A and B are shown apart, each in its own frame.
Chain A
């Protein structure tokens, strides 16, 4: 009886299955809400640490203190110190901005290029789709580490090299998400109707099709954000990431690699931060994905 409705002439009719599915889908279910909450709490931890770092930094991030090498976590050094006697808590706090900047840069390149190729492939189909898929296949065939090595060998170590190398590697994942969304919606009659009215392809893509896949794209961005942090950490861990003068959590992990058994806390703190940020992004991505899937039922 919930789906019973009256039309203009006060006649009662039952909404068809499609409409019923929409009602079911439009209310975000409990699971998605819980995932959102967990995700936001996890993301809030590094964010709070970063905000504290702006106003209060207990130690300098680069100055060495050889008399305090490998100090175990205590009330003075909450996360202990590293092999140069630097306070790990301070370094973890100040490592967030660069990690975030690199992740945003990677996703910006991946998402904008993926959006362009995916939208054109999905909307036009045929030859455009064929070549779009071949570009994606070609990029997928190159391992990210190899691309990182190629960029480092050609342009040297640096933030921009990491962003561009990994950004290119992120294009296929975005392209596929966007292409599948466009493929699904371009078959709908409203697109045919717009084509008959003489709407330009740009107008149909941007004004009518893009809003349909926005939630799906947001979910992909949240997941891409987590993957970018992991990828940057992997590159830094291999010495292909940012230069030693810059602090990122991946770089800190790489530095801790040599004395993992002697001072495990120097790896645990940045590692935990990466896990927190990645899990937070993952939960938010999953929540968005659930909403997107429910909406596509309609």
Chain B
């Protein structure tokens, strides 16, 4: 596989719709373009219904675009099915979801769920997999006691830590975090965000962080893309965009948030 690419992710003029009929298309994403550099943490911000999760589903391959191009590590993937993408990039994209409770099989222990990604790949022996899973549990800041616990015995913040572990155990090059802290209380939010920062330093993955909370984006991301009614209206360095927003919608979003930003 060629490793010559400038952007880990490049989306060009994408259109997406959930309409069943081709005659009456209502676009969720319209002429959307976006780029992400390797190792970058891009914050995707927008109001509810602006198409943030749809974009995540497009990138992962759960849905296909109507037109446009998606380049992942320099290769066109928009026409590939989810299975083809996995075969080609070997778990290149992983996702952390908003609701930590529905992200886990309720009948399986945390340890087994951490081992599952590696068991699916069949690249290591079971004892090696268990060692790696236990190590990952430590890396996400949970003690070995949690290995034999069930998801309902963990809090939302702890589950989100395990979800990060499950995603990172296969060493993806892109992690999509779809509002991973929005269902957590503020103190736990900060812990999970700090963990993401630490893990990024360690695993060196690119991160597409979806949120509607500007403070979270400011705290975590290098760049920001503002999504409004299915289109990216502004993209750039977080500091620059927050200090000097160019687009009217971005200005309104920042003023509505009412925060004073300083790194």
A16 to B106, CA, bound (A): 16
Smallest beta-carbon distance A9→chain B, Å: 7
The answer to whether A196 touches B94 (Cβ under 8 A) is yes
Interface size class of chain B, counting residues whose CB lies under 8 Å from the partner chain: 35 or more
The answer to whether B102 touches A188 (Cβ under 8 A) is yes
Chain B residue numbers with a CB within 8 Å of A19 are 101, 152, 155-156
Is A58 located at the chain interface by the 8 A CB criterion?
no
Interface string of B120-137 (1 = CB under 8 A from A): 110000000000000000
Query: Given B60, B99, B188, which contacts A11 in the complex, CB threshold below 8 Å?
Result: B188
Interface string of A1-17 (1 = CB under 8 A from B): 00001011101010110
Interface string of B177-218 (1 = CB under 8 A from A): 000000101011001000000000000000000000000000
The answer to whether A22 touches B102 (Cβ under 8 A) is no
Is B142 located at the chain interface by the 8 A CB criterion?
yes
Is B42 located at the chain interface by the 8 A CB criterion?
no
Q: Which of A174-217 contact B (CB under 8 A)?
A: 188-190, 192-199, 203, 208, 211-212
Is A26 located at the chain interface by the 8 A CB criterion?
yes
The answer to whether A13 touches B155 (Cβ under 8 A) is yes
The answer to whether B105 touches A13 (Cβ under 8 A) is no
Chain B residue numbers with a CB within 8 Å of A7 are 155, 157-158, 188
Is B91 located at the chain interface by the 8 A CB criterion?
yes
Given the known interface contacts A19-B101, A190-B103, A192-B62, the answer about A13 and B94 at a Cβ–Cβ threshold of 8 Å is: no
A196 to B86, CA, bound (A): 7
Interface residue count for A (Cβ, 8 Å)? 29
Given the known interface contacts A7-B157, A193-B97, the answer about A198 and B152 at a Cβ–Cβ threshold of 8 Å is: no
The answer to whether A198 touches B91 (Cβ under 8 A) is yes
Chain B residue numbers with a CB within 8 Å of A196 are 60, 82, 86, 91, 93-95
Chain A residue numbers with a CB within 8 Å of B167 are 193
Query: Given A13, A192, A203, which contacts B188 in the complex, CB threshold below 8 Å?
Result: A13
Q: Which of A272-298 contact B (CB under 8 A)?
A: 298
The chain A residue with its CB closest to the CB of B87 is A198
The chain A residue with its CB closest to the CB of B191 is A9
Given the known interface contacts A15-B155, A298-B152, the answer about A193 and B188 at a Cβ–Cβ threshold of 8 Å is: no
The answer to whether B95 touches A192 (Cβ under 8 A) is yes
The chain A residue with its CB closest to the CB of B152 is A22
Given the known interface contacts A7-B157, A8-B158, A189-B103, the answer about A198 and B86 at a Cβ–Cβ threshold of 8 Å is: yes
Chain B residue numbers with a CB within 8 Å of A13 are 155, 157, 185, 187-188
Smallest beta-carbon distance B205→chain A, Å: 14
Interface residues of A (CB under 8 A from B): 5, 7-9, 11, 13, 15-16, 18-19, 22-23, 26, 188-190, 192-199, 203, 208, 211-212, 298
Q: 29 A-B contacts, Cβ less than 8 Å apart?
A: A7-B157, A7-B158, A9-B191, A11-B187, A11-B188, A13-B157, A13-B187, A16-B101, A19-B101, A19-B156, A188-B103, A189-B99, A189-B102, A189-B103, A190-B104, A192-B95, A192-B97, A193-B95, A193-B97, A193-B166, A195-B62, A196-B60, A196-B82, A196-B86, A197-B94, A197-B120, A198-B86, A198-B91, A298-B106
7 additional contacts (CB under 8 A) given A8-B158, A208-B105: A7-B157, A8-B143, A13-B155, A16-B101, A23-B152, A197-B91, A197-B94
* 10 closest cross-chain pairs (CB), A and B: A198-B86, A189-B97, A189-B103, A211-B107, A188-B102, A189-B102, A22-B152, A197-B117, A199-B120, A7-B155
